[in-house]
Structure 1
Amino acid sequence: MEDDLQLQIRFIKMDQKATATLLELAAKSLLSNEPAAIHALEELPRDLFVPLFIAAFLGGHMKVLKEMVSIWPFHCLHIGTLSREESYYEILEAMIDGLQILPAQNSSTCGPKLRILDLMEDQDCETTCPSIRKTFPFLEEAQRNVRCLGIGNSESEPLSAWKPTEVLVDLSISGNLKKKQFLSFLQNKVEENIGSLHLCCRGLHIDSMPAVKSVLQFLDLGCTDHLEVYKADLSEVTTHFAQMTHLNSLSLSNIPFKSCKGRKFNTFLTWLGHQDNLQDLILCSFCLKNQLHKLLRVLPPRLDTLYLTFCGLSNRDVIALSQSSQATHLTQLNLSNNQIFSEVYEPFQTLLEKASGTLQHLEVNNCLITDSILSALLPALSHCSHLRILSFASNPITMPVLRSLLQHLTSLTKLKYVIYPVPVHCYEQEDFHSTLDQQKLAEVQAQLKVMLHAVQRDDMNWTTSPE
């Protein structure tokens, strides 16, 4: 009886896979003749819109995509995991052009079903909202983890609750011509449909501050939850983005030294103190020497991610971090390219002990970690039971200490990736700038592999990063 049941399950799975394959083939066949495909949309069953949309997106059929968006039978349309390098921005423009936008003054009129067009690439989001009717079982798994970003997803939403059509995007402001053209296209669309189209920029990446002013005129910065800025004065950040109060992630890099001092820095701290939802803070080439305590004072106590690379951190800064409220909540910490071990290691040891209950990802590359320091840190590292990734490349470590580290860390069952420095004996002059002996490195890798196999930790991946 049990064998019969397993056989039936196998046939069901095979049938679902065959159905999916047939639909894919049918979609490709239909798209080979775009005029016929557009004509067929009027008669297309509701449940076939998703597989046809996916095929049209991946195939770059912009005319078909535009028509599909105009009669999309669901409340939401997400590109989710779909990605295409060729003609990417042209595809997005075609989809936006297809929106049937209901004029604000005619809010009593029965409008199109599509109210949210989500153009953000998201690994946790599929094509439609959960309200999709699942006639084909193979579609269920593909649409299990969908979300509507808190905007609402009821297909029977009353007309009295009318809201502008939402277009959700991640934008990049740089010197790239295609990105500039896309921004210009979006600006024109918003201006043509004032009050009826709401552009919700969730992620904003800025490589060119001079171009920001014109773009900010048509963006609602209250929507932005991820901000990345490269090479800008702190006064520009606090001035242009004063309206941002719901940031989840902030990344600033290559900030001029002068703006990290005095009044500009204090104004920045005041602005940062209003970001109550902040979970991730990434600072690179941002001078924080002897100032980290000021920053930690305004950050949310339950900060999840803290990256402080090339920040000139001192021993005093590590002490401040080890004594902070954030220390016991961090899951990701990166202090690479700071000479934090040039004096003493005890503050960092205390930090590890405080973070041992939550820390999952730790990077301390190029921090002047020596054999004696690493040996002293081993007990604290061994108590980081949630650690999954450890990276300490570009530190002067010898092979005996590396072997000792492996023996201590194999008890951490969740630790899967260790990026370690090439042992100093593999270099002709025992420094990272001399010639690397590839044969010696291969012997090191073989030794570690044998040791991992001996303690049944083949699931751990020990590797060196390019020096």
Structure 2
Amino acid sequence: HSLLFLCARRLVSHRPAARRALDLVPAELFPVLFRAAFLDERTLTLGDLVGTWPFPLLSFRRLLGHRRHRRDRHPSCGEKPSKSCLQAVILAVVAYLRRTLEEPSRDASESRCRLRVLDMTGLHDDDTDRGPEWMSLWSGTVALAKACIEVSKHQNECLKRGSKRRKGPSGASAALQPLGVEVRADLFVNATSFGVLRDALRAAGPFRLKCRDFHAEELSVAGTVSLLESLEPAGVRRVDLRFNNLGLAGLCAVLPHLARFADLLSLKLPYSNVNARRLTAGTEAGLRCLAAQLGRLPRLKELNLGSSRLSGKLRQLLGDLQAPLESLELAFCYLLPGDLAFLSQSLHAPALKKLDLSGHDFSENLLQPLQRLLEETSASLLHLDLMECRLTDACLESLLPTLCRCSRLRCLGLFGNPLSTPGLKTLLRKTLLLPDLRLVVYPYPVDCYNPEPARPSSACLFQDALDEER
């Protein structure tokens, strides 16, 4: 740690001294004081810092570094967002806005706080359950929503009190308009938190909640549309709708509401229960609608349609896209050779950086189309997932020459394939030629399982007893 950081850490460890110093220290020292307080979980001092923040912007990513790279960039700041620290920051913003509502006539020059934007995006990438001491994306969303509602209610109370004193709401409304704080965040909502987030997004007040990445799980069509319509269009970058069982008709109802997000780069629709193989009266019309709506997203770079049955329909669904995709996830989509042939010839193949074709049987007639596709993506591909694809040693051996031409490949997922120990050794030996390859997710070798009767699917291998001595 630098001497400056050590001094900041010492100061924030004694709150009374820190509070007295905040009116005197130069504004340039606030960022290092914030980092020190955040690292040591000095929640009261964090609140004091936010309440007197001398800059218009307070960005967690700028102050603490992006979580994926934080160990390299800011080794002092840890890797996970502490629940107590994030709550302290949110509560401090609420307290600051309450003060501005209660003292509307106070000259802004009397307060050192200049905070106008609180940026909390990027704190929960690849969010997983990290224990009670860390704030998940879901709990962070609920905390922000409740804070937004609290400030809005307090504003209404102040307006009512001011209206009674002035015998008319017009004067009070003019006097009670604080500058407010725009809070940028990634939001995760499910059926449990739907109501509180809906109310927060509809609330009018100085605590303005603005979404960058929107994740919704297990919501109805009406609930999904309601929230999408409540989001401010500017700045929405990702929409992830999973386990919502929307079906083709539901997607056709939801996707028109995405066209207002001009900056949308990523759309994830896994487990949407789309079955293009079930021919009904509305299937073709639904597919045309879905394709047309995808075509109305001009900046789309990432698309996930995993676990939808899209056999023979890939050309139709992706044909209207205006720009090449950089990430395409089609796991368990029952693709046919013609679908892979279309991808190989499409504008997307030379641009793809991530490709997920897990859950397809490449042991037979899909193997050659896969080889042609990898040849077309070889100059750009960084991440390839072929999990649960029934790849045997023989299949992998024929695929390896093409795979080794993917010179930029960084991550290769092969988990769930029936590969033997010699096959895996061949894989590791051949892929040593790939200079950027950092992660290979491979299965337990089939010869490490105790002999059992043959099973129909490679997925069932995991139900066998693993011979740990091997």
TM-score by length of 1: 0.70
Q: Match of 1:221, SS?
A: coil
- 2:373 alignment partner, one of 327, 342, 351: 351
The alignment status of 1:313 with 2:335, answered yes or no, reads yes
* Residue 76 in structure 1 maps to residue 52 in structure 2: no
Change (3 A) 1:92 1:275: farther
Out of 230, 237, 254, the residue aligned to residue 271 of structure 2 is 254
Seen in structure 2, the aligned counterparts of structure 1 residues 269 and 98 have a Cα distance that, compared at 3 Å, is farther
Cα deviation for residue 417 of structure 1 reads 2.1
Please state if 1:279 is matched with 2:292. Answer: no
CA distance in 1, matches of 2:201, 2:347: 43
Aligned residue for 2:117? Answer: 116
Q: Match of 1:224?
A: 236
1:375 aligns with 2:372: no
* Residue 209 of structure 1, aligned match among 194, 203, 219: 219
- 1:326 is matched with which residue? 348
Give the superposition deviation at 1:213: 5.2
Residues 405/295 of structure 1: CA separation in 2 closer, same or farther (3 Å cut): same
Q: Which residue of 2 aligns with 1:148?
A: none
Q: Say which SS state the counterpart of residue 410 (structure 1) adopts.
A: helix
Q: Which residue of 2 aligns with 1:90?
A: 87
Change (3 A) 1:77 1:345: same
Deviation at 1:351, TM superposition (A): 0.8
One-letter code of the match for 1:243? R
- Distance, in Å, in 2 between the alignment partners of 1:28 and 1:93 is 21
Once residues 379 and 57 of structure 1 are traced to their aligned partners in structure 2, the CA distance between those partners, rounded to angstroms, is 49
1:50 corresponding residue in structure 2:
31
Q: Distance in 2 between matches of 1:213 and 1:275?
A: 17
Q: Residues 61-107 of structure 1, C-alpha deviation per residue, up to 9 Å, x if partnerless?
A: 6665454334321231112247534346633531432556999xx9x
Query: CA RMSD of the aligned region, Å?
Result: 3.4
Number of aligned pairs? 375
How far, CA to CA, are the matches of 1:312 and 1:257 in structure 2? 12
2:387 aligned to which of 365, 378, 382: 365
Give SS of 1:257's match. Answer: coil
CA distance in 1, matches of 2:182, 2:336: 46
Corresponding residue for residue 406 of structure 2: 384
- Shift, 1:46, TM fit: 1.4
* Sequence identity (%): 30
Q: Contact (CA 8 Å) 1:27, 1:51: kept in 2 or not?
A: no
Structure 1 residue 403: deviation in Å? 3.0
| 2:369 partner SS | helix
Shift of 1:39: 4.8
Gap change, CA 1:351 and 1:95, over 3 Å in 2? farther
In structure 1, list runs of 5 or more residues that go unmatched.
Answer: 1-15, 125-162, 441-467
2:14 is aligned to: 29
After superposition, the Cα gap between the structure-2 partners of 1:410 and 1:316, relative to the gap in structure 1 and judged at 3 Å, is same
Q: Judging changes above 3 Å, is the alpha-carbon distance between structure 1 residues 344 and 236 closer, same or farther for their aligned structure 2 residues?
A: closer
* Amino acid of the structure 2 residue aligned with 1:48: L
Q: Tell me how far 1:279 sits from its aligned partner.
A: 1.7
Following the alignment from structure 1 to structure 2, what is the Cα–Cα distance between the partners of residues 216 and 351?
Answer: 35
| 1:104-127 Cα distance to aligned partner (Å, 9 max, x none) | xx9xx9896333211113599xxx
Deviations 1:302-345 (A, max 9, x none): 32111111212222221221221111111111111122443242
